Amino acid sequence: MKNRAFKLRYILLAVLVILVLTPFVWWLLKPAKALDVVVVNKTFPILQDSKDKPQLDYSKQRGLYWVLNHQRIDNPKTGKAYSMDTDYSGNALSNGKLVHKPLQINNVPDMIYLLDAYGTGGSRESGVEEPGISGLTRDEIAWVSNSYARGTTLLGEYNIAGEPTSDAVSKELGRLFGVSFTGMAGKFFSDLSSEIDVPDWIRNIYQKQYGKAWSLSGAGIVIAGNDQIVILQRDIGFTGSSLQVGMNEDLNGKYETEAVNYYNWFEIVEPDAPEDVIAWYSLDLTEEGKKQLEPYGLKGTFPAIVDRREGEQRSVYMAGDFSDYRGPDKLHGFIGAAPLYKLFSIESEGDLGYFYWRFYVPFITNVMEEIEAQEEPQSFVVKADEASGVKLVSAIEEGQFSVYRNGVWEKRHIQGVNVGSGIPGYAPGTFPEDAAFYTEWFQQMADMNANTLRVKDLMPPVFYRALDNFNVSHPDQTLYLIQNISLASDPAPQDVLSKEEQGAFQQIMENTVHALHGNHESSGSNETERYSNDVSGYVLAYTLEPAWSKSSVAAANTAHAGYTYEGDFMYSTDGATPVEAWLASMLDKLAGVELQQYGMQHPLAVVLNPELDPVYVRKAGLTSTPDGQVELDHIGTTAQFKAQLFGAYNIYPSKLEEDGKAGFFAGYLNDLVKEEDRYHILVNEFGIPTTNGITEEDQGRELADMIQSIQDSGALGGLVYEWADEWGSSSPDTAPYMIPKKRGALWHNTDDPAQNYGIVAMESDRNVPLTLNLKGSGPLDSIGMGADESYFHIQAQFKQLPDWDKQQLMMYIDTIDRKKGEYMLEPNVNENWSGTEFKLVIPQPDQAELLVIPTYNKSRGTYFTKVTTDGIFERLSPLPDQGASARAKDLSVLTAGSFERGDTHLNLQENTLKVRIPWARLNFTDPSSLLVISDEQQQGVPGSDEAISVKMTDGMVVSLVVMDKQTRKVEYQFPESVTSQGYRTFTWKTWDVPQYTARSKSSYEWIREAYQDEFSP
């Protein structure tokens, strides 16, 4: 019996041991899952160990690594489990000092988890910290964005997008996660009086908002940010323990989560697509709490998790400190560990463990189970020339461009657009650091059936990254690139061949080639800009643009007579001029740089204007000598240049018309293509501005006709000039009136052709607030005035409209100096109360004319106001002897129509009359700083070295008159006198950052239809 009892005890013990060990053995036998996971974390409190040695607190990422290890997710590079204290990027300790631990990754990972980017918040407590310690950097977001576009699953948590992360990086994070970061964050505090728990930044906002020191107590939830704060005290603003977090009901089963109280930091985000929200925070608000949140646009529920999926791409944003686990370390190496800890987790106020085991662990476990290891994405494919080994991705074959794609050559008729060099609010040649800005452009271009875009100069790195990632994500809408290279300066003709000028241009070419191959750094305003995206596989060609006039060409040829060139790839032929030889030398150097550095060649071109083309000079009947012309045939290519040379011509109908050749576009292009013996022709730029009476419909119709002419001619294709309206540009006729020029991008001259070639309108907001509202009398109920980046606005509300058959409406506008200007309404008709410079005549609700006093008529070359009493106003139209083209618009005419378009100025709806007048017509040179022409001495003359004098206006006064058309009798006048309440001066706040909206003009649809008829894939 004793033996049997003894054996039984051993058996039971063995069974017990087996039962205990089985979960561990089973876990060990479970196959490990190799996933390339990159964790980015920069926020580690520094603690002191038992020996007073500094060490990092890994609590922020401990919870994540427990899940990685429990799920047996191994690092494929090491074949081992991920280590919490080594396998991450961000910050680390080195000799007791916090240092940046940069990303050193050349592959595309399977998962990126952005935990926290706050770092030290840019603290200078320990001196100036090294770059990268606080906030996500440009390089880091570039790598994240590139990886996401190539299939990496992206996860993120609270505190990666706020300060000290830059606005540009924050915007890109928002695009990747499908959210807008509001800057508002919050947390539950068990004791609001605790100086340890409630951070100083919250106390400071409170004191700033309420003008008193923080003195709150008890439990509550604080939501703060953007210098605003709201405190919801328990049982006053909300009931219950805290806010709750829970999945959508239909997803509880999938993710095996529970709705639980949440005590950690959270933030307020706005989802781009509400259907992407899979979990919500909820607050049981009292009526008082609802009132407290209402001014901030907040309610009792807001997004907790946004799960964004685009095809094969997925990003998950958790709007809180979800992975922050501060409990004791727990064993992870056995089956059932997570359910066991979940079962025994106990909720207590302020404890994070209950949320961690019952919500975060099951959720993140399910997310990771869906992630599969992906194959390393293949970059673009090149075709190597069999004899020379030169790599090609584009070529010109049988009169068309071809691209090497999916192992075969595919023909491409170029249907493209030019991207200009000006964006509202940005100095010429500078651009936004916002990938989403360009991605939206690329999508619109592709949807318009464009297959190519061209840029005038080297763009910022984010542009090429956005293009690369767009093409990776949209293989069926690939956009190819023509990269232009412009001279950095306009050298004197005698200096063209100097070592300095040639060296400078060659350096620009080298930098451009390296940048497009993802191998270049340039010094930006705040930090080094790194070009890391190799887009050479999408480059169709390079174009060189010296942008010389025929006089400059002739002078350079004279200065360098006898110059010839012979290189490895290009040479000047017999009969070539020195300029043509110089162009051959630059093309040769460009081809050499790319071949030597990257073993690749692309087609090359020289950009020419018709005035330099012998065919155009002859056909247009113009006078020009060979020294003032450039013939592409005089540049030869050697057998070593496998890509082809072609001609790129800028052809504008408006320029042709100035030469007296309306309708000349198609005929000239046909002759150019036929007579060019050696090289094919690309219409590099062609465009129509929406000014001079040309509507958006006119623009679209004419561009569609030109697209058809380009296709019929046999040219390589064409690129519309330009994609978006370009604030800050100026035509020769308007340039003298943009003062100061450096502020030109802060406002929109709607009359300047150079600013209005775009297919996309960049315009001020249509909903302009009227900042001065005056109560009327008699038939006038009220009159208001407002200002925006494009127009001066007047809105008149009538009790009774004029009888348009018998009466007309007049408005008089005093733009500068109340004591000067015209004091008579008309010759021998009533006195005005203020000296005015402009008169607006409205004889019918759909007709209006703007007139000006003679001394202030810019179109006549007079620029000052003075006291006059003759009542004479004249038109703004240019005089015939000033050489106005056939399309020169009468600037006195204001066009009636809906303000939905940008080419209208007058709109009457029921009893409300709205007028908007372009700033330039009122002689403003910079409305953003209230500058207006005031050249009393007439020192400034357009075309001379003397600038026109300007001064800051003291505001504007508007008066309104109803007049009998026959008798010219004034039947109503507002204001009634100079002392009445209606006599008020309107002024507006200056601005340094313009507000604008982008809108596709109606011409967009015309081009989309024209490009839809592409005759080759």
Contact 917, 768 (CB under 8 A): no
Contact 353, 325 (CB under 8 A): yes
Cα dihedral value 610, 504, 723, 271, nearest 10? 170
Distance of CA 537 to the CA centre of its chain: 24
Task: Write the pLDDT tens digit of every residue in 919-944.
Answer: 999 999 999 999 999 987 655 455 55
Task: Write the pLDDT tens digit of every residue in 330-378.
Answer: 888 888 888 888 888 888 888 899 999 999 999 999 999 999 988 876 6
The reply to whether 21 and 59 lie within a common domain is no
Residue type, 356: Y
CATH number for 509? 3.20.20.80
The reply to whether 808 and 710 lie within a common domain is no
Q: Is residue 387, in this structure, part of any structural domain at all?
A: no
The reply to whether 588 and 684 lie within a common domain is yes
The reply to whether 576 and 691 lie within a common domain is yes
Q: Is residue 555, in this structure, part of any structural domain at all?
A: yes
Q: Is residue 768, in this structure, part of any structural domain at all?
A: no
d(CA 754, CA 862): 23
Number of domains present in the structure of the chain: 4
The reply to whether 404 and 272 lie within a common domain is no
Question: Of 734, 761, 788, which marks where a domain is finished?
Answer: 761
Q: What is the 3-state secondary structure (H, E, C) of 271-331?
A: ECCHHHEEEEEEEEECHHHHHHHHHHCCCCEEEEEEEEEECCEEEEEECECCCCCCCCCCC
Question: Of 316, 337, 370, which marks where a domain is finished?
Answer: 370
Contacts with 358 (C-beta within 8 Å, 6 or more apart), sequence order: 257, 258, 260, 342, 345
The reply to whether 323 and 232 lie within a common domain is yes
Q: Is residue 208, in this structure, part of any structural domain at all?
A: yes
Closest CA to 901 of 691, 665, 695: 695
Task: Write the pLDDT tens digit of every residue in 706-715.
Answer: 999 999 999 9
Task: Write the pLDDT tens digit of every residue in 405-441.
Answer: 888 999 999 999 999 888 999 988 889 888 989 999 9
Residue ranges making up the domain that contains 945: 777-994
The reply to whether 883 and 840 lie within a common domain is yes
DSSP 724: B
Greatest Cα pair distance, the chain, in angstroms, is: 138
In this prediction, the residues of the chain whose per-residue pLDDT falls under 50 are: 658-662, 879-887, 940, 945, 1015-1017
Contacts with 948 (C-beta within 8 Å, 6 or more apart), sequence order: 736, 737, 739, 863, 925, 933, 935, 939, 940, 941, 942
Q: Is residue 1016, in this structure, part of any structural domain at all?
A: no
Q: What is the 3-state secondary structure (H, E, C) of 75-136?
A: ECCCCEECCCCCCCEEEEEECCEEEEECCCCCCCCCEEEEEECCCCCCCCECECCCCCCCCC
Q: Is residue 381, in this structure, part of any structural domain at all?
A: no
Q: What is the 3-state secondary structure (H, E, C) of 525-572?
A: CCCEEEECCECHHHEEEEEEECCCCHHHHHHHHHHCCCCCCECCCEEE
d(CA 398, CA 643): 13
Q: Is residue 726, in this structure, part of any structural domain at all?
A: no
Phi then psi dihedrals of residue 426, to 5 deg: -115, 135
Q: Is residue 752, in this structure, part of any structural domain at all?
A: no
The reply to whether 211 and 255 lie within a common domain is yes
Residue 316 token pair: 């998950």
The reply to whether 41 and 4 lie within a common domain is no
Helix locations, 345-416, DSSP H: 353-355, 361-370
The reply to whether 574 and 608 lie within a common domain is yes
Closest CA to 960 of 759, 812, 764, 803: 812
Euclidean distance between the first and final Cα of the chain, in Å?
92
The reply to whether 6 and 121 lie within a common domain is no
| Surface-to-core class of residue 47, CB atoms within 10 Å of its CB (0-12 exposed, 13-18 middle, 19+ buried) | exposed
The reply to whether 269 and 174 lie within a common domain is yes
Closest CA to 796 of 897, 907, 873, 902: 907
Helix (H) or strand (E) holding 712: helix 696-713
